[in-house]
Amino acid sequence: MLPGTLDYPPFPRLTWEDYFWASEIVLPSWAGFWARSSEYGGARRSRLADGRVRLLIAPPVINARTAPGL
């Protein structure tokens, strides 16, 4: 079993979160679009996105803490 964090290029540092490897990345091309940050996408909390997105990578075997692609 792998540790709770994983350095696995080309991905940023990944952290194990029960079922997925997770990280946050910045996609500059997504910056400037309207983002709705409420739970249901409501317009009350709309703002311009800065390009940050949450990256989730499922392991090849469900619930197994293995590296992506192995």
More confident residue, 35 or 64: 64
| pLDDT surpassing 80 at residue 15 | yes
Would the pTM of this model clear 0.85, i.e. be above it? no
- The position carrying tokens 């009350």 is 44
Structure tokens at 68: 């992506």
Domain-wise residue ranges, the chain:
13-57
pLDDT number for residue 55:
94
- Mean pLDDT on 24-35: 87
pLDDT number for residue 2:
66
